[in-house]
Amino acid sequence: MMTATRRSLTRHLCHVGLISALAVLGCADSESVRIEAEPGADHFETRLRVKAEAVRRAPLAGGGRVTGTVHAFHKARITAETQGRVVARVVEPGAVIEAGDVLVALESSRLELEVRRTEASLRAARTVLAHAEREFERGERLAAESAISTQRRDDLRLGVDRAGDELALALVARDTAKRNLEDARIEAPFDGTVDSIDVSVGDFVSSGTPVATMVDLSRVRIFGGVTAREAARLRSGTTATVSFADLGGRSFDATLHSVGRVADASDGTFEIELWMDNAETLMRDGLAARIELPQGDTEEFVLAPREALLRRDGRPEVFVVADEGGRKVARSRIVRTGRSDGKWIEVVEGLESGDRIIYDGQFALEDGSFVEIDESVAAAATLPAAVVE
């Protein structure tokens, strides 16, 4: 009987040891896990050694980070405003030009003829108006002597009005012809760089045909998206830090120009726009940026180490330490997170000040696992200065 009991107890110990070994293998940091036996107990209890720290309210280093995209300060798709055949590509892609410089020239002889025709029509209209005015003045004198009827006088007045309208139409036709002639020289709308020329000599273009693309990169606009909470605290005119992985991680100061008030339908974020000088001409349209948002000095948040965060079934989860019947038990909590400085993360919902969150050894835990807290000084020393008393 005693022998059978000992064999059963041996099998039980082996089973417990196997489970504990599997738990150790499943932990990201095997040194943070230890199996403890309760001295004097008639059974064995597996406790996992973890590191934990009380959640506190404190400022977050930086105001959070969002991803942004660089856009040229001005970018224009330039189209023809009149029709004609291309006779010259005056500039080529990459050229730095000023507003008013010619990009593409169109054949203009027909347009010059049209200007001459409309100018002749304008001169004729002025002659007709002058004759009508003289006839009306003579009719006024005759009407005063009752030498002509009132109807004849009114007809002379109508002739002056018609001649005036014809003159106005001739002026519009002349100005339109001149404008078309000017539009045969397709010019730069602003100072900048030619990104592309989309037509070749000999091509026939009509009004609306794209001929070139220009960008102004002397300054750039950087667009990103923030949450409603971030949008509420951000103020135009403040300075943010922008870094670029494609430029070796270099950082620059940018000014927050505007914060959107309408959420994006796809992700619910609010658009922010920053302006930044590009004196070194390093920025290009479409470059990815990392924006470090500005933050108020007194703003505090519920903070937790990012390493404490787990994601299961697509939901962020953490483990906190609960005291149950004199023993420490790990309990899972679903949380909602906010901003992060890369190491520490804001917990918007799911935790309160005073909760002890497990940030080392949590990968081997399940809800209800017994734990032993590593109270060594080294554990607290890894926490940020903002949350250590």
Q: Cβ(36)–Cβ(202) under 8 Å?
A: no
Starting at the earlier edge strand, list the strands of the sheet with 84-89: 185-187, 102-106, 84-89, 204-205
Burial-class residue 295 by CB neighbours within 10 Å (0-12, 13-18, 19+): buried
d(CA 198, CA 213): 8
| pLDDT score of 282 | 93
User: 178-181 contacts: CB < 8 A, separation 24 or more?
Assistant: 178/115, 180/82, 180/111, 180/114, 181/108, 181/111, 181/112, 181/114, 181/115
Q: What is the mean pLDDT of the chain?
A: 83
Q: Give the HSE-up count for residue 148: Cα atoms under 13 Å, Cβ half-sphere.
A: 17
Q: How far is 258 from 267, CA to CA, in rounded Å?
A: 19
In tens, the pLDDT along 310-332 reads: 887 778 889 999 988 888 998 98
Q: Token pair for residue 16? A: 């417990």
Cβ 360 vs Cβ 307: under 8 Å: yes
User: What's the pTM?
Assistant: 0.57
How high is the pLDDT of residue 377?
46
- Give the model's pLDDT for residue 31: 42
Low-confidence ranges of the chain (pLDDT < 70): 1-45, 59-64, 295-299, 339-342, 377-389
In the chain, the domains with their CATH numbers are 23-60+300-387 (2.40.420.20), 65-74+215-292 (2.40.30.170), 108-183 (1.10.287.470)
pLDDT at 307: 84
Q: Give the pLDDT confidence score for residue 27 in this predicted structure.
A: 41
Q: Locate 108 and state its tokens.
A: 């203009």
d(CA 197, CA 280): 25
